[in-house]
Amino acid sequence: MNRTSGARLCATAAIAALSLSLLTACSEEGSKDSADSKTSASASASAPAAASDAKALTTAELQKLLLAQGDLKGYKVEADESDKTTKSAVKVDKAACAPLAWATNGLPPGDTEANATNSLAEDKGTAATAQPEDLEDAFNLTMTFVGLSSYEADGAEKTIKALSDGVTGCAGGYGFTTEGETSKVTKVAAEKGSGKGDEAVAFAQDIVVEGQTITAHTEVIRKGSTLATLFTMNITALTKGGDMGAIPVAVADAQIAKLK
């Protein structure tokens, strides 16, 4: 299959699913050229604790707090209509790394069932109707996947700590399997986050897919008892290898502004 067709298939799959295991599936249709990713890491922020009597929001309430079409100019919002991956389907070879794997598989990074997800993509027109010479630019877009999860009592703070500990403890990498698809993370590094919310953990992961390295960026931001998990996917990087792109500040700003 040629690269253009592979990119189209990967784009469709990427919009439909929230999972790092998608990287493995899409790479089989993309370029086999390898690329070394480069990351610039720095420590994330720490912040005050929330009230211990905090109540978790329901999934229905979280869905209303997700960014909707029209909330952010220049972006299209896609509802998450894919089948949900369960935590039991994500097998991680290091327990401390599980919250990192969950966060980048569209799952709550902590102990809760209250979770809602969607994705935002730069509005570059309809790739399906683009001319061949425009396809490369049409697919050179970054999608940002957003997951909201909510926790009882101090569950949100504990989850942020678990993520922070995981970034440190899993710096040398880890492996995980999602529904039969195995991924290898070779490096985890802290990054400077958006500075939004009450506290946040931001990190980059280098993932080897079909012999090439892809760098994915994730940030989990706490606002009271709710966590917003954001990570990026770039279609060009998905097919060729390389950096998936930073989380757009505008997306983080707009999403956190909707949280109460």
Which pLDDT does position 53 carry in this prediction? 72
What pTM did the predictor assign?
0.79
pLDDT score at 46: 42
Let me know if 120 is exposed, middle or buried by CB neighbors in 10 A (0-12, 13-18, 19+).
buried
Torsion, CA 70, CA 73, CA 74, CA 75, rounded to 10? -40
Query: Could you tell me the end-to-end alpha-carbon distance of the chain, in angstroms, rounded to an integer?
Result: 47
Total Cβ atoms within 10 A of residue 132: 7
Tokens 């991956």 appear where? 85
Which of 167, 120, 171, 152 has its CA nearest to residue 227? 152
Tokens of 251: 């997306």
- Total domains present in the chain: 1
Residue pair 140/122 in contact (Cβ under 8 Å)? The answer is: no
**Host domain of residue 182:** 3-258
Residues of the chain short of pLDDT 70, as ranges, are 1-52, 81-84, 125-139
Which CATH number fits the domain that encloses residue 242? 3.40.1000.70
**Closest to 100 (Cα-Cα) out of 17, 189, 12, 11:** 189
How many other β-carbons are positioned within 10 Å of the β-carbon of residue 72? 18
Query: Which residues, in sequence order, are CB contacts of 231 under 8 Å at separation 6+?
Result: 103, 104, 144, 145, 216, 217, 218, 219, 247
Under DSSP, the state recorded for 166 is: H
Query: Could you please report the per-residue DSSP string of 192-225?
Result: -----SSEEEEEEEEEEETTEEEEEEEEEEEETT
Residue 28 confidence (pLDDT):
44
- Structure confidence at residue 210 (pLDDT): 75
pLDDT tens across 219-249, in order? 999 999 999 999 998 878 877 889 999 999 9
Strand partners for 244: none
In this prediction, residue 226 carries a pLDDT of 97
Q: Tell me the two tokens of residue 174.
A: 């880890």
